[in-house]
């Protein structure tokens, strides 16, 4: 039930493997740290990772009024992965995805939220298109890595949301660089600055960059994202900065953009 949700923010990527779910999870936690009531909806049908990243094994409780989202690390979460056994592929076509989306929108008891972060499926295929058309999205964040091959996919994803009349909040560059913990040397493994370049070409804000760090990976595997596990780390502070930039950007969009109206017939 989304009638009491102020902002629905889709986190998307042009392809898989760029750390989109990691960004979505830690962004939701960083927004909650500002005092905002925050939820995280995992709609990644190709690889729902939120149950693992938050260490959730229990199933959500059902009531006569709807489904109660899991409360973990200070936010409410609901995942498509809650509906299947771990390791079982989700082999759904568009109508099944639409049915799940309707369930998440109408039957999950989100309550009053300032932000609902939606972890979208990667790419511009049927799943992403169906979800983007149906969700009342305030805006979309595009996650990329710095190299040129990823940036081509960023542009495709961004233009899909533009066609759907969903405003772009901005671009996040993940795995931006690596700093050796032993000698402090910086290595730009996947190149550097591509996310900022993509944001400039799209005419949207560059929301920030997240360094490549083993603690981000281990935290997600252990069910404690780095914003919770190491809140004073440079990586957690990077997510806090991104969250602040998202809040500022949303304030601009509220003033300049009308609410999202789902399109049909595409």
Contacts of 38 (CB under 8 A, 6+ apart): 28, 29, 31, 32, 74, 75, 76, 113, 114, 115, 116, 117
CB atoms near residue 257 (< 10 Å): 14
Q: pLDDT at position 76, please?
A: 97
At residue 94, the pLDDT reads 65
Examine the pLDDT at 263 and tell me if it is beyond 70.
Answer: no
- What is the tens place of the pLDDT at every residue in 67-107? 999 999 999 999 988 877 766 666 766 677 777 777 777 78
Specify the fold of 5-256: Rossmann fold (3.40.50)
Q: State the virtual CA torsion across 143, 147, 151, 153 in degrees, nearest 10.
A: -80
- Summarised one tens digit per residue, pLDDT across range 96-139 is 777 777 777 778 999 999 999 999 888 777 767 777 677 788 99
Which of 36-40, 146-150, 255-259 is predicted most confidently? Answer: 36-40
What pLDDT score was predicted for residue 65? 87
Residue 195, pLDDT > 70, answer: yes
The C-alpha atoms of residue 29 and residue 26 are separated, in whole angstroms, by: 5
């Amino acid at each position: 039930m989304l009638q009491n949700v102020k902002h629905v923010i889709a986190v998307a990527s042009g392809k898989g493997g760029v750390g989109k779910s990691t960004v979505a999870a830690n962004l939701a936690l960083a927004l909650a740290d500002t005092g905002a009531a925050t939820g995280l909806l995992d709609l990644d049908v190709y690889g729902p990772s939120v149950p693992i990243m938050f260490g959730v094994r229990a199933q959500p409780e059902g009531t006569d009024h709807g489904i109660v989202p899991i409360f973990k690390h200070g936010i409410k979460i609901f995942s498509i992965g809650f509906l299947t056994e771990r390791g079982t592929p989700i082999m759904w076509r568009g109508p099944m995805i639409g049915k799940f989306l309707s369930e998440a929108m109408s039957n999950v008891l989100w309550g009053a939220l300032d932000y609902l972060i939606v972890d979208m499926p990667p790419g511009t295929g049927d799943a992403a298109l169906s979800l983007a058309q149906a969700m009342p999205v305030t805006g979309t964040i595009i996650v990329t890595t710095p190299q040129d091959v990823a940036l081509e996919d960023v542009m495709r994803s961004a233009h899909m949301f533009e066609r759907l009349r969903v405003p772009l909040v901005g671009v996040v560059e993940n795995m931006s660089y690596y700093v050796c913990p032993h000698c402090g040397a910086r290595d730009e493994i996947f190149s550097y600055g591509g996310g900022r370049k993509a944001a400039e070409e799209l005419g949207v804000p560059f929301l920030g960059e997240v360094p490549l760090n083993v603690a981000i990976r281990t935290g997600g595997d252990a069910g404690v994202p780095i914003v919770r596990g190491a809140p004073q780390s440079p990586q957690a502070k990077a997510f806090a900065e991104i969250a602040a930039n998202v809040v500022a950007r949303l304030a601009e969009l509220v003033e300049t953009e009308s609410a999202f109206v789902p399109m049909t017939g595409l």
